[in-house]
Amino acid sequence: DATDATAQPSGWLAGLAETFEARRRDLNALDQRAGDGDIGTNLSSGLQAALLRSAGPDADLAADLSAVAGAFLDDVGGSSGPLFGLVFSAVADAVAGPDADDAGQADDAAAVVVGLRDGLEAVARVGGAAPGDRTLLDALAPATEGSRLDRHAVAAAIAGARATSDLVARRGRASYLGDRALGFPDPGAVAVAVVLAALLERLEG
Protein backbone atom coordinates (compact mmCIF):
# COMPACT_ATOMS: atom_id res chain seq x y z
CA ASP A 1 0.00 0.00 0.00
CA ALA A 2 1.72 3.14 -1.25
CA THR A 3 -0.07 5.30 1.32
CA ASP A 4 1.06 3.21 4.30
CA ALA A 5 3.12 5.62 6.40
CA THR A 6 5.03 2.74 7.96
CA ALA A 7 6.30 1.44 4.61
CA GLN A 8 9.95 2.10 3.75
CA PRO A 9 10.39 4.79 1.10
CA SER A 10 13.11 4.53 -1.50
CA GLY A 11 16.52 5.50 -0.21
CA TRP A 12 16.87 8.16 -2.87
CA LEU A 13 13.58 9.81 -1.96
CA ALA A 14 14.46 9.70 1.74
CA GLY A 15 17.82 11.31 0.92
CA LEU A 16 16.16 14.04 -1.12
CA ALA A 17 13.76 14.77 1.75
CA GLU A 18 16.70 14.94 4.16
CA THR A 19 18.61 17.29 1.86
CA PHE A 20 15.68 19.71 1.70
CA GLU A 21 14.99 19.48 5.42
CA ALA A 22 18.64 20.45 5.98
CA ARG A 23 18.21 23.40 3.59
CA ARG A 24 14.80 24.50 4.84
CA ARG A 25 16.02 27.46 6.91
CA ASP A 26 18.46 28.74 4.28
CA LEU A 27 15.84 28.58 1.54
CA ASN A 28 13.30 30.28 3.80
CA ALA A 29 15.85 33.00 4.54
CA LEU A 30 16.43 33.60 0.82
CA ASP A 31 12.66 33.76 0.26
CA GLN A 32 12.37 36.17 3.20
CA ARG A 33 14.46 38.77 1.37
CA ALA A 34 11.76 39.50 -1.17
CA GLY A 35 8.98 37.01 -0.52
CA ASP A 36 7.21 35.47 2.45
CA GLY A 37 9.94 33.19 3.72
CA ASP A 38 8.21 29.87 3.18
CA ILE A 39 9.76 28.12 0.18
CA GLY A 40 12.05 25.92 2.28
CA THR A 41 9.08 24.84 4.39
CA ASN A 42 6.91 24.30 1.30
CA LEU A 43 9.50 22.08 -0.41
CA SER A 44 10.50 20.17 2.70
CA SER A 45 6.91 19.44 3.69
CA GLY A 46 6.14 18.39 0.11
CA LEU A 47 8.96 15.86 0.20
CA GLN A 48 7.76 14.55 3.56
CA ALA A 49 4.34 14.07 1.96
CA ALA A 50 6.05 12.33 -0.98
CA LEU A 51 7.64 9.82 1.39
CA LEU A 52 4.16 8.75 2.48
CA ARG A 53 3.28 8.13 -1.18
CA SER A 54 6.46 6.21 -1.93
CA ALA A 55 6.00 2.94 -3.77
CA GLY A 56 8.64 1.37 -1.52
CA PRO A 57 12.38 0.79 -1.20
CA ASP A 58 12.68 -0.72 -4.69
CA ALA A 59 10.67 1.97 -6.46
CA ASP A 60 12.10 2.96 -9.82
CA LEU A 61 12.94 6.54 -10.69
CA ALA A 62 9.63 7.21 -12.46
CA ALA A 63 7.66 5.97 -9.43
CA ASP A 64 9.69 8.14 -7.06
CA LEU A 65 9.22 11.19 -9.28
CA SER A 66 5.48 10.50 -9.53
CA ALA A 67 5.25 10.33 -5.75
CA VAL A 68 6.92 13.74 -5.50
CA ALA A 69 4.76 15.20 -8.28
CA GLY A 70 1.54 14.00 -6.66
CA ALA A 71 2.52 15.31 -3.25
CA PHE A 72 3.56 18.71 -4.61
CA LEU A 73 0.47 19.13 -6.77
CA ASP A 74 -1.99 17.94 -4.11
CA ASP A 75 -0.45 18.89 -0.77
CA VAL A 76 1.83 21.90 -1.24
CA GLY A 77 0.67 25.47 -1.54
CA GLY A 78 2.46 28.62 -2.63
CA SER A 79 3.99 28.96 -6.06
CA SER A 80 6.54 26.22 -5.56
CA GLY A 81 3.98 23.44 -4.93
CA PRO A 82 2.22 23.54 -8.29
CA LEU A 83 5.26 24.70 -10.27
CA PHE A 84 7.69 22.07 -8.94
CA GLY A 85 4.80 19.60 -9.18
CA LEU A 86 4.55 20.28 -12.91
CA VAL A 87 8.28 19.76 -13.38
CA PHE A 88 8.40 16.50 -11.38
CA SER A 89 5.31 15.27 -13.20
CA ALA A 90 6.80 15.98 -16.64
CA VAL A 91 10.09 14.27 -15.77
CA ALA A 92 8.24 11.26 -14.30
CA ASP A 93 6.23 10.92 -17.52
CA ALA A 94 9.32 11.18 -19.71
CA VAL A 95 11.26 8.62 -17.68
CA ALA A 96 8.28 6.22 -17.66
CA GLY A 97 7.54 6.76 -21.34
CA PRO A 98 7.83 4.21 -24.14
CA ASP A 99 11.36 5.32 -25.02
CA ALA A 100 12.61 4.93 -21.47
CA ASP A 101 14.84 1.97 -20.79
CA ASP A 102 15.38 0.99 -17.18
CA ALA A 103 18.60 -0.81 -17.98
CA GLY A 104 20.26 2.11 -19.73
CA GLN A 105 21.68 4.94 -17.68
CA ALA A 106 22.23 7.04 -20.80
CA ASP A 107 18.59 6.66 -21.80
CA ASP A 108 17.25 7.70 -18.42
CA ALA A 109 19.59 10.70 -18.49
CA ALA A 110 18.21 11.66 -21.91
CA ALA A 111 14.61 11.09 -20.81
CA VAL A 112 15.14 13.36 -17.80
CA VAL A 113 16.17 16.23 -20.08
CA VAL A 114 13.14 15.67 -22.31
CA GLY A 115 10.98 15.82 -19.16
CA LEU A 116 12.73 18.94 -17.90
CA ARG A 117 12.01 20.65 -21.23
CA ASP A 118 8.33 19.67 -20.99
CA GLY A 119 8.30 20.88 -17.39
CA LEU A 120 9.88 24.18 -18.37
CA GLU A 121 7.21 24.73 -21.02
CA ALA A 122 4.44 23.89 -18.56
CA VAL A 123 5.79 26.24 -15.89
CA ALA A 124 6.25 29.04 -18.42
CA ARG A 125 2.69 28.54 -19.68
CA VAL A 126 1.13 28.44 -16.23
CA GLY A 127 3.31 31.06 -14.54
CA GLY A 128 3.91 33.41 -17.46
CA ALA A 129 7.62 33.79 -16.71
CA ALA A 130 10.60 33.44 -19.03
CA PRO A 131 14.28 32.89 -18.31
CA GLY A 132 15.74 36.16 -17.00
CA ASP A 133 12.74 36.95 -14.80
CA ARG A 134 14.50 35.65 -11.65
CA THR A 135 12.55 32.45 -11.15
CA LEU A 136 13.25 28.74 -11.01
CA LEU A 137 13.32 28.84 -14.83
CA ASP A 138 16.76 30.47 -14.62
CA ALA A 139 18.20 27.20 -13.30
CA LEU A 140 15.93 24.90 -15.31
CA ALA A 141 16.52 26.39 -18.77
CA PRO A 142 20.33 26.06 -18.85
CA ALA A 143 20.05 22.44 -17.69
CA THR A 144 18.01 21.56 -20.78
CA GLU A 145 20.48 22.81 -23.36
CA GLY A 146 22.28 19.49 -23.74
CA SER A 147 20.78 16.12 -24.63
CA ARG A 148 21.28 14.37 -21.27
CA LEU A 149 21.32 15.17 -17.59
CA ASP A 150 25.05 14.95 -16.94
CA ARG A 151 27.48 16.93 -14.81
CA HIS A 152 27.61 19.72 -17.40
CA ALA A 153 23.84 20.13 -17.20
CA VAL A 154 23.93 20.24 -13.40
CA ALA A 155 26.83 22.74 -13.48
CA ALA A 156 24.77 24.90 -15.88
CA ALA A 157 21.81 24.80 -13.48
CA ILE A 158 24.02 25.80 -10.55
CA ALA A 159 25.53 28.66 -12.58
CA GLY A 160 22.03 29.73 -13.65
CA ALA A 161 20.84 29.74 -10.04
CA ARG A 162 23.88 31.78 -8.95
CA ALA A 163 23.33 34.29 -11.73
CA THR A 164 19.84 35.09 -10.40
CA SER A 165 21.66 37.12 -7.71
CA ASP A 166 22.06 39.84 -10.35
CA LEU A 167 18.45 39.72 -11.56
CA VAL A 168 15.45 41.77 -10.42
CA ALA A 169 12.30 39.67 -10.14
CA ARG A 170 9.60 40.25 -12.73
CA ARG A 171 7.30 37.39 -11.67
CA GLY A 172 5.97 35.96 -8.45
CA ARG A 173 5.81 37.52 -5.03
CA ALA A 174 9.42 38.76 -5.23
CA SER A 175 8.46 41.12 -8.05
CA TYR A 176 6.54 43.31 -5.56
CA LEU A 177 9.68 44.18 -3.66
CA GLY A 178 11.91 45.32 -6.49
CA ASP A 179 15.62 44.95 -5.87
CA ARG A 180 15.59 43.96 -2.19
CA ALA A 181 16.96 40.54 -3.09
CA LEU A 182 19.80 41.75 -5.32
CA GLY A 183 23.01 40.01 -4.34
CA PHE A 184 21.13 36.87 -3.26
CA PRO A 185 19.94 34.07 -5.51
CA ASP A 186 16.32 33.18 -6.18
CA PRO A 187 15.44 30.32 -3.83
CA GLY A 188 13.35 28.50 -6.41
CA ALA A 189 16.31 28.46 -8.80
CA VAL A 190 18.61 27.23 -6.02
CA ALA A 191 16.12 24.45 -5.22
CA VAL A 192 16.01 23.35 -8.87
CA ALA A 193 19.81 23.06 -8.91
CA VAL A 194 19.68 20.95 -5.73
CA VAL A 195 17.04 18.65 -7.23
CA LEU A 196 19.03 18.21 -10.45
CA ALA A 197 22.20 17.38 -8.53
CA ALA A 198 20.24 14.71 -6.63
CA LEU A 199 18.81 13.36 -9.90
CA LEU A 200 22.29 13.09 -11.38
CA GLU A 201 23.43 11.15 -8.30
CA ARG A 202 20.54 8.75 -8.81
CA LEU A 203 21.37 8.30 -12.50
CA GLU A 204 25.04 7.67 -11.74
CA GLY A 205 24.32 5.55 -8.68
Residues forming contacts to ligand ADP in the complex (CB under 6 A) are 31, 35-36, 38-39, 42, 78-80, 83, 123, 127-129, 135-137, 171-173, 186-189
Residue range at the interface with Mg ion (CB under 5 A); choices 73-81, 85-93, 121-129, 156-164: 73-81
User: Based on CB atoms, which residue is closest to ligand ADP, 30 or 94?
Assistant: 30
Q: Which of 122, 133, 135 is CA-nearest to residue 188? A: 135
User: Based on CB atoms, which residue is closest to ligand ADP, 70 or 78?
Assistant: 78
User: Based on CB atoms, which residue is closest to Mg ion, 62 or 181?
Assistant: 181
Kindly write out the interface string for residues 33-52 of this chain, putting x where it contacts Mg ion by CB under 5 A and - elsewhere: --xx-xx-------------
User: Based on CB atoms, which residue is closest to ligand ADP, 70 or 127?
Assistant: 127
Secondary-structure breakdown of the chain: helix, strand, coil percentages, each rounded to the nearest 5:
70, 0, 30
Whether the CB-CB separation of 54 and 3 falls below 8 Å is answered with: no
Q: Which of 136, 122, 127, 53 is CA-nearest to residue 90? A: 122
Report angle CA 140, 141, 143 to the nearest 5 degrees: 70
Whether the CB-CB separation of 68 and 121 falls below 8 Å is answered with: no
> Which residue of 9, 40, 70, 78 would you call a contact of Mg ion, by CB under 5 A?
78
Q: Work out the number of other CB atoms within 10 angstroms of the CB of residue 179.
A: 10
Q: How far is the CB of 139 from Mg ion (least distance, A)?
A: 17
Binding site for Mg ion (CB under 5 A): 31, 35-36, 38-39, 78
